[in-house]
Amino acid sequence: MSYTTDRDGMSFSWCNAEGRMVKRLYPNVSCITVDEDGSHHNLKGMSCFDVPLEDHETGNLTGMRLVYELMREAVVDESFDCLSGVLKESIAELAVDRGHPLNASKRGAAVGFMEALQQVFNFAASRVDFTPVFKGLFEAHEIGMADELEDVRRKNAEILSDLAGYPANGGAA
């Protein structure tokens, strides 16, 4: 594995499992990377599940640690919104048959990630009132649908107006 540091000496880039030079997009989240010349404004080569190739058990621990990293980042940065990308890419890893559990792959990390996420979900579900969250989600969706509904009504009126001009509908030929 090769490493390079940037000007401040605080962050570094490395050669990932696919052989690309990458760096972390978020300093405290190890699995979300971009190409060495990427940034928050240039997501070139972004990967949301850039984990090492490991045997199943070692990968499990990596996946569990990722849940902690993502939760910590969400607490520190309320605009953090990469969980869906991590979920999509980890689910894709689960779908790939890697053969024997001792084979080096990302599957163990995906399994550990999902198992830890399930535990966190169950813990939160039994202790948190999600009503305000869902109320906000539903209200935002309804606002979006209201805008869409107005657009649908406008398009329908245009079509009806156009149809009124056809002879079968009483319009001029």
Task: Output the pLDDT for position 5.
Answer: 44
Contact 88/68 with Cβ under 8 angstroms?
Answer: no
Identify the burial level of 15 via C-beta atoms within 10 angstroms of its C-beta, where 0-12 means exposed, 13-18 middle and 19 or more buried: middle
pLDDT tens string, the chain, 173 residues long: the values are 444 444 444 456 778 877 888 899 898 999 999 988 877 788 888 999 999 999 999 999 999 999 999 999 999 998 888 999 999 999 999 988 777 778 889 999 999 999 999 999 999 988 988 888 889 888 988 888 888 888 888 998 998 888 877 777 666 65
Q: Write the secondary structure of 132-151 as one string of H (helix), E (strand) and C (coil).
A: HHHHHHHHHHHHHHHHHHHH
Task: Output the pLDDT for position 63.
Answer: 96
Task: Output the pLDDT for position 50.
Answer: 93
Task: Output the pLDDT for position 3.
Answer: 41
